[in-house]
DNA sequence: TTTCAATTTGTAATCATTACAAAATTAAAT
DNA sequence: ATTTAATTTTGTAATGATTACAAATTGAAA
């Protein structure tokens, strides 16, 4: 919990209890949670939590560079702490989003055909390894 | 217009007048139009056009492999004929979406870390060349 | 304790998209 | 030409994620 507070202070965000819990939930989760998933995960600990607070807080975190957001298949936005740059794979069957640490060119802060790149999102979509196995067993 | 009809027939889509006009609008546009943009562009020619028809038709086109859709920055879905695989760059200032034909690995139909890739979307976001110039002139 | 700014909340609004059933169109069958 | 059935198109209502906004709450300084 001290680790969480430290991160917020380093990014000039007042470490309120809500913000600490939201960031903690995000750090504990490895599943790229959506705003709604974070909201539901915290309802036990903060019964008075408002979904607007979750949205506001996530926006603040992103503006301050604490987290990153991305969206795959145009449903809801998903959030994660920014570790090393990586790609995402979303399974069409089970919906799981996997991190892919492959050999992708990182174009951030590079100039591409004259355009200044600030963000890069590599989204792969298909059938994950687990669902392929499941399909074979069913057949 | 014959070209349009031919494409529809080749993909086993009945070439109704609406479908031909929607596909034509998509072929004439090089701006990755959204469903709403296509709808507004056609309202002159088909005053009775329903937005639902545009959505239905675009979905049909995509299912039949005539067009592809993608989404960048999680606003609306955008559509294009599928030429060679390429990446997209969206300018944060003017909103323009550029095609980027760089040297990107095409992972379609490949296996990545055990996952079967069916779609690949490379989205770059930043400030486009034109807007960089404009900024310099203003300063 | 008073004050004031920052944070949080609840509700209503927005926007893209989908669901669904009725209406219109088309082509085939009589 | 008329009937029939399937397909296409339409209009409206519903959905779901997100945002706008104003009121309520909190928390630190004076
Ligand atoms: Mn990730
Ligand atoms: Mn393109
Ligand atoms: Zn799966
Ligand atoms: Zn621009």
Round to a whole number and report the distance in Å from the CA of B95 to the C1' of C1.
Answer: 52
Specify whether A56 is located in the same domain as A24. Answer: yes
Specify whether B73 is located in the same domain as B131. Answer: no
Nearest CA-CA distance, residue B123 and chain A, Å: 5
Arithmetic mean of pLDDT, B37-47: 97
Could you give phi then psi for residue B85, rounded to 5 degrees? -60, 140
Round to a whole number and report the distance in Å from the CA of B12 to the C1' of D3.
Answer: 28
Q: Name the residue among A77, A114, A122 with its Cβ closest to that of B74.
A: A77
Nearest partner of A100 among A72, A75, A74, judged by Cα: A72
Which residue intervals of A1-139 are DSSP H helices? 2-10, 17-28, 35-42, 51-63, 129-138
What's the pLDDT band for B2 if we cut at 50, 70, 90?
confident
Q: What is the CATH number of the domain that holds B21?
A: 1.10.10.10
Q: Name the residue among B107, B116, B132 with its Cβ closest to that of A132.
A: B116
Decide the pairing of beta strands A115-127 and A87-91: parallel
pLDDT digits (tens, 9 = 90+) for A2-18: 899 999 999 999 999 99
Residue B91 pLDDT > 90: yes
Number of Cβ atoms within 10 Å of the Cβ of B60: 17
Specify whether A111 is located in the same domain as A55. Answer: no
pTM: 0.92
Specify whether A14 is located in the same domain as A66. Answer: yes
Give chain B's mean pLDDT. Answer: 95
Contact A64, A12 (CB under 8 A): yes
Nearest CA-CA distance, residue A82 and chain B, Å: 17
Arithmetic mean of pLDDT, B96-117: 95
User: Which residues in A lie closer than 8 A to residue B128 (C-beta atoms)?
Assistant: 114-116
- The reply to whether B75 Cβ lies less than 7 angstroms from strand C is yes
Question: For residues B51 and B138, which has the higher predicted lDDT (pLDDT)?
Answer: B51
Specify whether B22 is located in the same domain as B71. Answer: yes
Specify whether B19 is located in the same domain as B66. Answer: yes
Q: Is the dihedral of CA B3, B8, B10, B14 positive or negative?
A: negative
Q: What pLDDT is attached to residue A83?
A: 81
Q: What is the CA B112 to chain-centroid distance, rounded?
A: 26
What's the pLDDT band for B137 if we cut at 50, 70, 90?
confident
User: Which residues in A lie closer than 8 A to residue B114 (C-beta atoms)?
Assistant: 128-129, 132
Specify whether B68 is located in the same domain as B111. Answer: no
Percent of chain B past pLDDT 70, that is, above it, reads 100
Specify whether B64 is located in the same domain as B106. Answer: no
Q: Is the dihedral of CA B62, B65, B68, B74 positive or negative?
A: positive
Q: What pLDDT is attached to residue A138?
A: 79
Residue A64 pLDDT > 90: yes
Specify whether B96 is located in the same domain as B133. Answer: yes
Q: What pLDDT is attached to residue B135?
A: 79
Residues 9-48 of A with CB under 7 A from strand D: 17, 34-36
Contact B79, B34 (CB under 8 A): yes
Containing domain of residue A94, as a range?
Answer: 87-138
Q: What is the CATH number of the domain that holds B103?
A: 3.30.1490
Residue B4 pLDDT > 80: yes
Q: Which of A63, A80, A97 is the last residue of a domain?
A: A80
Tally of domains within chain A: 2
Q: Which of A52, A80, A108 is the last residue of a domain?
A: A80
Specify whether A18 is located in the same domain as A75. Answer: yes
Specify whether A104 is located in the same domain as A68. Answer: no
Q: What pLDDT is attached to residue B40?
A: 97
Residues 6+ apart with CB under 8 A from B3: none
Specify whether B76 is located in the same domain as B97. Answer: no
């Amino acid at each position: 919990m001290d680790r969480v507070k430290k991160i917020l202070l380093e990014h000039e965000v007042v470490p309120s209890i809500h913000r600490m819990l939201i960031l903690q939930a995000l750090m504990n989760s490895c599943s790229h949670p959506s705003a709604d998933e974070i909201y539901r995960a915290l309802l036990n600990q903060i019964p008075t939590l408002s979904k607007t607070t979750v949205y506001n807080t996530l926006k603040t975190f992103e503006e301050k560079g604490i987290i990153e957001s991305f969206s795959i298949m145009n449903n809801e936005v998903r959030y994660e702490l920014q570790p090393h740059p990586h790609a995402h794979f979303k399974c069409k069957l089970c919906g799981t989003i996997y991190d892919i640490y492959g050999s992708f060119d990182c174009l951030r802060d590079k100039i591409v055909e004259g355009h200044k790149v600030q963000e890069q999102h590599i989204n792969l979509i298909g059938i994950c390894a687990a669902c392929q196995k499941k399909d074979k067993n069913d057949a």
